[in-house]
Amino acid sequence: MDRKKEYQKYLNSDEWRQQRDLALFRTDGFCQFCGELATQVHHVKYPKTLGHEHPDTLIPVCKKCHDLSHGVQKMNHLVDVQQMTEITPSGGHLKYLLSGARIYASVKSWERALQVPSSMSAWFESGLPRTAILKKDSSGGTLEMTYLNTAVYRWHAVADLLRSFDRNWHNHQYSSRPKSEQTELKKFHDNYESLISWGYDLQERALSSALVSAPRPTLPVSQDDLLRAIKDAVAPRLHQHDEKIREHDLIISELKDAIPTLRDEGEFITIKQAVNEQGLDPSLMPFHPKSSENLSALAGQILSERNVMQGEKVVSRLDGQSIIKPLNTYRRTDIYKVLAEILNQKQISLKF
């Protein structure tokens, strides 16, 4: 059986339906790109063995965004292209395209140049197209083009994606990752500021080249003065923007720390609600690759095995087709205790 037929057979299997439902459950059945109801699940990266997908590679999407993700849309093509090479502050090599004073490169080229950790590869490969789809540049221009049948992306989309990583880092979103991954992520974040500055410097040099070859303006404005004016206008605003976001995240973090003292420990809630209250990643698979169970599923398994007291069931939407599923509820304090045990577990075992 060829790969295509094998894949179609897999999409009709119970194994895929379970994977699909888990992915939809993580986003409450909404498209991770645009927020509309999700009707499909997009593979960011196909596994060597079907059925062994990592959660980060499965993205709930609506049909429109799924088509966009696979390039089923009208995209403009680059013309008058110069192929260039640049070395990044982290030692990576960027092969990029220069067209109309704008810099473009493929997802893989940006990923290699920035030396994105392997544990963040799926995040980067899915996040860059999504960012390009959802955002425009300051003049409303597109951040995604094609060149030789390959999608290429502007630096502005990459910068937005790096900022989202920086916000997640300062909000401790990666604190539950394995130690080896945290080491890689810290090294990547240590280069964050220099990578951001490098990218904008690279774009400014492209603008400078265009100005040199462009007709002289009516008013005598030197190239250096113009570049300084652009940098003086843009850089402070970017800095202020980042500072406001960090202040916002800090306030949210402080509120999260204060709220638990106001919560009723004896209240019956769902595991999903408890995971959200703890600020944990619902797609986390603590015992991966030995177990494909995520954090919520493991907690439910342990609570059930211990015959912990349950409250009334509640229903929740499972996918974009309005399918609902009854969920068990437990006392908040019991769920919190089990979640802490899972995250602190030293030995990889499913027998508790």
Q: Which two tokens stand for residue 45?
A: 């990266």
Residues 302 and 291 sit within 8 Å (Cβ to Cβ):
no
* Residue 319 CA: distances (Å) to CA of 207, 290, 310: 46, 27, 25
Distances (CA, A) of 130 to 70, 72, 318: 11, 14, 23
Q: Which CATH class is domain 3-69?
A: alpha beta
The residues of the chain that CATH labels 3.40.1800 are 3-69
Average pLDDT on 228-239 reads: 52
Residue 270 token pair: 């769902």
Q: Which residues contact 75 (CB under 8 A, 6 or more apart)?
A: 144, 145, 146, 151
Instruction: Give the range with max mean pLDDT: 163-167, 280-284, 346-350.
Output: 163-167
* Count of beta carbons in the 10 Å neighbourhood of residue 93: 11
Percentage of the chain lying above the pLDDT 90 cut: 14
Question: Is 176 buried (19+), middle (13-18) or exposed (0-12) by CB count in 10 A?
Answer: middle
- What's the pLDDT at 193? 87
Give the span between the Cα atoms of 195 and 88, in whole angstroms: 7
| Parallel, antiparallel or unpaired: strands 58-61 and 82-87 | unpaired
Q: Which of 116-120, 144-148, 209-213, 272-276 has the lowest mean pLDDT?
A: 209-213
Q: Average pLDDT of 264-284?
A: 84
Nearest to 335 by CA among 290, 309, 303: 303
pLDDT in tens, 223-232: 555 555 455 4
- Give pLDDT tens digits for 117-162: 988 887 888 778 877 877 765 545 678 888 888 889 988 889 888 9
61, 295, 190, 124: CA torsion to nearest 10? -20
Instruction: Give the model's pLDDT for residue 219.
Output: 43
Instruction: Give the tens place of pLDDT for each residue, 288-303.
Output: 777 778 888 889 989 9
Q: How sure is the predictor about 197, in pLDDT bands with cuts at 50, 70 and 90?
A: confident
What is the rounded CA–CA span in Å between residue 134 and residue 67? 14
pLDDT bucket at 282, cuts 50 / 70 / 90:
confident
Residue 215: DSSP 8-state: P
* Helix, strand, coil % over all residues of the chain, rounded to 5: 50, 15, 35
What's the pLDDT score for residue 233?
43
Whether residue 194 is predicted with pLDDT greater than 50 in this model: the reply is yes
- 226 touches 234 (CB < 8 A): no
User: ∠220-224-228 over CA atoms, to 5°?
Assistant: 110
Whether the per-residue pLDDT at 335 is higher than 90: the answer is: yes
Helix/strand/coil (H/E/C) assignment for every residue in 294-347: CHHHHHHHHHHHCCCCECCCEEEECCCCCCEEEECEEEHHHHHHHHHHHHHCCC
Q: Which residues contact 305 (CB under 8 A, 6 or more apart)?
A: 352
More confident residue, 37 or 139: 37
